[in-house]
Amino acid sequence: MNIFEELKARGLIFQTTDEAALIKALTEDSIKFYSGYDPTADSLHLGHLVPILNMRRLQLAGHQPVALVGGATGMIGDPSFKDAERSLQTTETVAAWSAAIKQQLSRFLSFEGENAATVVNNYDWFSQMNILEFLRDVGKHFTINYMMSKESVKKRIETGISYTEFAYQILQGYDFYQLNENYGVTLEIGGSDQWGNMIAGTDLIRKKSGNDTHVITVPLITDSTGKKFGKSEGNAVWLDADKTSPYEFYQFWLNVADADAVKFLKIFTFLSLDEIDDIAKAFEAAPHERLAQKTLAKEVVTLVHGETAYDNAVHISQQLFDGHIKSLSVKDIKTGLSDVPNFTVAADFDGNLVNLLVDAKISPSRRQAREDISNGAIYINGDRQTSLEYVIGDADKLESQLTVIRRGKKKYTIINF
Q: Where in the chain is the domain with CATH 1.10.240.10?
A: 231-322
pLDDT at 337 over 70: yes
The predicted model gives 88-103 an average pLDDT of 77
Q: What percent of the chain has pLDDT over 70?
A: 94
Q: 216 forms bridges with which residues in the sheet?
A: 16, 189
pLDDT at 30 over 90: yes
The predicted model gives 118-126 an average pLDDT of 90
Asked if 268 contacts 297 with a C-beta cutoff of 8 angstroms, the reply is no
What does the alpha-carbon distance between residue 134 and residue 126 come to, in Å, rounded to a whole number?
A: 9
pLDDT at 63 over 80: yes
CATH code of domain 342-416: 3.10.290.10
Q: Where in the chain is the domain with CATH 3.40.50.620?
A: 3-218
Q: Lowest-pLDDT range, 78-82, 166-170, 199-203, 357-361?
A: 78-82
Asked if 301 contacts 309 with a C-beta cutoff of 8 angstroms, the reply is yes
Q: Name 32's Cβ contacts closer than 8 Å, sequence gap at least 6.
A: 63, 64, 65, 66, 179, 183, 184, 185, 186, 187
Long-range contacts of 220-226 (CB under 8 A, 24+ apart): 220/14, 220/191, 220/192, 220/193, 221/47, 221/50, 221/267, 223/256, 223/257, 223/259, 223/260, 224/257, 224/259, 224/260, 225/257
- The Cα angle at residue 48 between residues 43 and 52, in degrees rounded to 5: 110
Predicted local confidence at residue 152, as pLDDT: 67
Q: Which band of pLDDT confidence, cut at 50, 70 and 90, is reported for residue 293?
A: very high
Identify the CA nearest to 417 among candidates 406, 336, 399: 399
Question: Which alpha helices (H) appear in 120-242, and where do they start and end?
Answer: 123-126, 131-137, 144-148, 151-157, 163-166, 168-183, 195-209
Q: What is the pLDDT of residues 378-407, one digit of tens each?
A: 999 999 999 999 999 999 999 999 999 999
Predicted local confidence at residue 94, as pLDDT: 75
Binding-site positions for ATP read 231
Tell me how far CA of residue 388 lies from CA of 39, 358, 384, 410, in angstroms.
56, 13, 12, 21
> What is the secondary structure of 1-46 as a DSSP string?
--HHHHHHHTT--SEESSHHHHHHHHHHS--EEEEEE--SSSS-BH
Predicted local confidence at residue 81, as pLDDT: 47
Mean pLDDT score across all residues of the chain: 89
Identify the CA nearest to 158 among candidates 168, 148, 167: 148
Q: Name 348's Cβ contacts closer than 8 Å, sequence gap at least 6.
A: none
Q: Does domain 3-218 have CATH number 1.10.167.10?
A: no
Q: Which band of pLDDT confidence, cut at 50, 70 and 90, is reported for residue 376?
A: very high
Q: Does domain 231-322 have CATH number 1.10.240.10?
A: yes
Asked if 94 contacts 39 with a C-beta cutoff of 8 angstroms, the reply is yes
Predicted local confidence at residue 232, as pLDDT: 57
Q: Name 88's Cβ contacts closer than 8 Å, sequence gap at least 6.
A: 75, 77
pLDDT at 79 over 70: no
pLDDT at 186 over 60: yes
Predicted local confidence at residue 209, as pLDDT: 93
pLDDT at 80 over 70: no
Q: Regarding predicted confidence, which is higher, 150 or 97?
A: 97
Identify the CA nearest to 214 among candidates 57, 35, 10: 35
Q: Lowest-pLDDT range, 132-136, 148-152, 271-275?
A: 148-152
Predicted local confidence at residue 233, as pLDDT: 53
Binding-site positions read 34, 168, 172, 231
Q: What is the dihedral of CA 10, 14, 16, 20, to 10 degrees?
A: 50
Q: Does the CA dihedral 230-261-308-397 come out positive or negative?
A: positive
* pTM exceeds cut of 0.75: yes
Q: How many residues does the chain have?
A: 417
Other CB atoms within 10 A of residue 174 CB: 26
3-state class (DSSP) for residue 78: coil
Q: Lowest-pLDDT range, 25-39, 78-92, 264-278?
A: 78-92
Q: 33 forms bridges with which residues in the sheet?
A: 65, 187
What does the alpha-carbon distance between residue 318 and residue 21 come to, in Å, rounded to a whole number?
A: 51
Binding-site positions for L-tyrosine read 34, 168, 172
Angle between helices 273-285 and 258-268 (to 10 degrees): 170
Q: Which band of pLDDT confidence, cut at 50, 70 and 90, is reported for residue 78?
A: low
Amino acid letter for position 283: F
The predicted model gives 230-258 an average pLDDT of 86
Other CB atoms within 10 A of residue 205 CB: 23
Predicted local confidence at residue 104, as pLDDT: 85
Q: What is the dihedral of CA 392, 397, 401, 406, to 10 degrees?
A: -70
Q: What percent of the chain has pLDDT over 90?
A: 63
Top-confidence range, 123-137, 214-228, 266-280: 266-280
The predicted model gives 335-357 an average pLDDT of 92
